[in-house]
Amino acid sequence: MAFDAPTMLTLTVALAVAAALYLAVEWRNVRESPLLFWSAGFATIAIGSTLALLRGSGLILIGIWFANGLLVTAHWLFLLGVARFTEARFSRAWYLIFVAWLAMLLLPEGPLWSRVMLFTNSMLVALVTLKASALLRPHGRSLSVGAVQLRYVLLMHGLFYAAKAMTAVIPGTLIDLSAFRGLIIQVSLVEGAMALMLIALSMTGTVRWRREKRIERLAARDPLTALYNRRALEARAGNLLKETSPARPGALLLIDIDNFKQANDLHGHLAGDHLLIALGEMLRALLPERALTARLGGDEFVILMGDASTERVVALGDTLRQRFNHMASQAFATPQAVTLSIGATLFDRPPASLAALIEQGDAALYQSKRGGRNSTRVDDRTGGESRPTG
C-alpha cells in the first residue's frame, strides 16, 4: 500500500473514529468528563481529515483553512480534557487562538500563503499541546503510568509541531498545502497517525488509573466521616506498632459517644450523623504526628498513636472531650449530656495484634463509662497504673 497523502488521511480518519468511539464507550462506563472532551477531540480530527481530502478537488477554503482549523479545535478539546483531569484553570487569553485562526481568512493569495498558513496552524497546535503537557506535571504528587505517558506523548507531539512551524520560515523549503507537496507535510501525516494511537491509549490509561485509585480510597474510608475504616486501619497500623519500644511507647484511644441514642431519638438520625461527622472532623484536626484515626463502626472511633505518654494521651482526650461536649450541647438539647467516654491503653511492646489492642482499649472504655462517663481512662501497661481523668 502506498503511503501517499490520501491514503494517510484515510488511515487518520479511521484511527480518529476508532479512538473517538473507544473513549466515548469508556466515558459511558465511568462518566469521567475528560474522556468526553478527548472523544470529541478525536471526532473533530476525523471530520477535519475527511474535509482535508477535498482540497484535491479545488475546495481550498474547506480543505485547507477549515480542515486545519478543526485540527486546532481538536487539540483545544484535548487541552480542556487535561484541564478537567488535573482540575487546573488557565487564562482566557488561550481563546485568542481562534481569533488568530480567523485572521488567516485575511491572507492574500500568493507564494507565501502556504508558508504563513502552515506556520500559524503548526504554532497554534504546538502551543495548545505543550500547555496540555505542562498541566500534567506532577506538582509534588505522583502520576500514573498512563498520565506520564500522556504528558510525554503530548510534549513530543507539541515539539514536532513547533519544529514543523520553523520549517515554514526556512528559505527554499518546498511547501504546497493544496497539493500535499513538501517533505514536512508528508512527515506530518505519518506523525499524526502514530500520535493518534499513542494519545488515545495514554488518555484511557490515565483515567482508568485515577478511577482505580479513587475506588481504593473509597473502599478504605468510612462513607459518612471519610475517616479510615477498620480494615484500612489494620492495613496501615503494622509499621506504627512495630516501632513501639520502651523508649517510644504507643497508645490506643477507644472513643465512644455517650447518650448518642438520645440525640437520635429526639432530633432524628440526621442529628446523629451531624455528631459523627463533627467528631470525625475534630479527630482529624487534633490528630498528632505519627498517628492514625478510624471509625470502627456505629459511634465508636479509635486513635492509634506513636511516641505517646500518659500526659499526651490525657491532654488529647481532655481537649477532644471539651470540644465535642461544647459542640453537642450547643447543637442538640438532650435530658442527659451528649459527651465522650475514652478508654486508652499505653504500651511499650508491639501487641499480638491490633484486635488484641482494641480489646484492651475496650476494657478501659468500659471502666470510663462505669465511672460516670465523660472521662478518659488510661491503662498504662508500661509500668504505670490505670487511672481515670475527667
- What tens digit of pLDDT does each residue of 253-275 get? 999 999 998 888 888 888 889 99
Residue type, 131: K
Q: Is the pLDDT reported for residue 175 higher than 70?
A: no
228-380 maps to CATH 3.40.50.1370: no
Q: Is the pLDDT reported for residue 215 higher than 80?
A: no
**pLDDT for position 140:** 43
Can you name the residues that pair with 340 across neighbouring β-strands? 257
Q: How confident is the model at residue 353 (pLDDT cuts 50, 70, 90)?
A: confident
Give percent of the chain above pLDDT 90: 22
Q: How confident is the model at residue 1 (pLDDT cuts 50, 70, 90)?
A: very low
Lowest average pLDDT, out of 99-108, 149-158, 252-261, 311-320, goes to: 99-108
Q: Is the pLDDT reported for residue 185 higher than 60?
A: no
User: Which among 388, 20, 344 has a CA at the least distance from the CA of 204?
Assistant: 20
Residues 6+ away with beta carbon under 8 Å from 227: 221, 280, 283, 284, 293, 294, 295, 301
**pLDDT for position 275:** 93
Q: How far apart are CA 19 and CA 11, in angstroms?
A: 12
| Tens-digit pLDDT profile for residues 34-58 | 888 989 988 998 898 888 877 766 6
C-alpha cell read off for 40: 470529541
Average pLDDT, the chain: 82
| Tens-digit pLDDT profile for residues 5-28 | 677 778 888 888 888 898 888 888
